[in-house]
Structures are given as structure tokens and as C-alpha cells.
Amino acid sequence: MEESNNNLERELEECRRAYRKRTTQFTKLLKQSKEMTANLRLNFDGIVHLLGDIITQASPIMGGHTKRTAALARSISQAMRLNPDRRRLVFYAASLHDLSLTGREQNWLDEENRDWLDHPDRSADLIAVVKNLGRIAATVRSHHEYYNGEGFPRGLRGEEIPLESRIITAALSYDRSVALRKIPVDTTLESMEAGGRFDPQVLEHLSSIIRSEDERRRRGDRLILLEELTPGMELADDLILANGLVLYPRGTILDEETRTRIINFDGMFPESGLIRVYGAGQ
């Protein structure tokens, strides 16, 4: 009996050792997988920013609009507490929503122009060529669909339109009105709220963000060093590199990823590393 118990104990110890070994191997593989995923995401973020810079070089006004739209859309998605994957989807799609119009700035805002009417499908088709970007392409395809069904290209309405697309539609419409057509903020918001084109929940968050931005500006801004940047701060000016490209537009609310990217560009700004911000951060 004693020998049998000893044999059993040895077998159990071997099982425990094998389990610990497999657990260690699994933990190592899981860590490697997370690192690979993080690196792939960083690479893709870099590609999206590169495309944004190309759009800006080809069409500076369009590039500025695209970056402001992406920043505002991301802020709305954060305010709506979307999960990180959906927030990234909003940012990527907003950054690429006018991809097919690059270099066509002359007729860019002409809503009767055929290129304009076709551009949601054309931009989505360009993105869909890249494998695994189907969700981004679908979001871009619907970025001119309106909540009341009067949009294009398919005339979707309400919940038929992806939430991410509804966010981008509101953000780009606000920027086109205020930044490009110079319509006052209050007039723009009143028009957007009255027309039935936009998701009321999205509009509520957009309006809250804009009102909060105005309040922060009334409280004043300040200059800080790059290393003093913290998540939660808002850029008071466009962040422009020495080559003239806009890295991030004014109004961008910093998160940890954005903060890290700005710091990594240290030495590429035309001034001495001072950045004007609103807010004290988190």
C-alpha cells in the first residue's frame, strides 16, 4: 500500500511539473502574441497617419478637415464610452473617409459633383482592397447616410446605419460648417439639431464636447513642455511639424497613445518643444 501511494505521489508530481511547464509556455506565447498585436496596431496607426499626411500634402484644406473630423469623432466615441476597438474603428474610418477625393480639392464641397456623390463607395472600395479592413470600409461607405434616410449612397436610416458612421457623419458635418464655411458654432449646432439628419444621442455628445471646449478656452490656455503632457489635456493649437504637416489638429483630447506619439516626434517641431494646451490633464 505504501509503495502504491508513493507511486501515485510521484505520478501526481510529474503531472504538476508538466502542468507548470505548459502554463509557463502558454504564458510566454500569450505575452508574445500581445506584443505582436501591439506592434501590428502601432504599424497600422503609422500607416493611417502616413495616409493622412499624404492627403494633407495633396490637399491641405481637405487634410485639415480630415484630421479635425477624426479628432472630434474620436472624442465623441470616448464620450459615448465605446470600447477601445470601436474607438479605433471610428478614428481610422474618419481619417480615411475622403480618401478617394484626394487631389480633387477644387470641386470637393460641390454636392452636385459626380465625384462627390460617388466618393463614399469609392473610398470604401479603395480601403476594402486591403485584407481585413472590411469594418473600416463598411463604416466609410455609410459616412454620408443620414438618420432620417435622406443620405447617400444607399438611403439608410436610423439604426440601419452603423453607429461609428453616425458619429463620423456628425463630426464631419460640424467641421465643414464651422471650419470650412465659417458658420458660427451656435448656428451650426441649432441647424444640426433641427434637421433630423443626425443621431440625437451622437448630437448630444457632440454639443457637450463643443460647449466644454468653449468653457476651457474661456478659462485660458498655457504653454508646457512635451514631457509635461498628460492624458486628458486638449491641444489649443494645431500641432505642426517643421515640414508644415499637421500632426494633430487643435481640439485633440490627448490619450496615452496620442501623448506617446507626440513625444516620439520631439525634435521635429519648429519651436523649442513647448505646446499650448487647455486643461490640467488627468
The model's pLDDT over 53-86, given as tens digits with 9 standing for 90+, comes to 777 777 778 888 888 899 899 889 989 999 988 9
Closest by Cα among 93, 110, 262, 244 to 172: 93
Query: Per mean pLDDT, which of 3-7, 57-61, 90-94, 240-244 is the most reliable?
Result: 90-94
Read off the pLDDT band of 43 (50, 70, 90): low
Query: Residue 50: helix, strand or coil by DSSP?
Result: helix
The pTM for the full model equals 0.70
Q: Which of 23-37, 74-88, 144-158, 193-207 has the lowest mean pLDDT?
A: 23-37
Cβ 140 vs Cβ 97: under 8 Å: yes
Question: Pick the residue with more confidence: 219 or 257?
Answer: 257
Q: Where are the alpha helices (DSSP H) in 59-148?
A: 60-79, 84-96, 114-128, 134-141
Query: Residue 225: helix, strand or coil by DSSP?
Result: strand
Average pLDDT of the residues in 234-245: 78
Cβ 70 vs Cβ 56: under 8 Å: no
Distance CA 241, CA 271 (A): 9
Closest by Cα among 36, 34, 42, 39 to 258: 42
Q: Degrees (nearest 5) of the Cα angle 137, 202, 90?
A: 30
Beta strands 239-240 and 246-248: pairing type? antiparallel
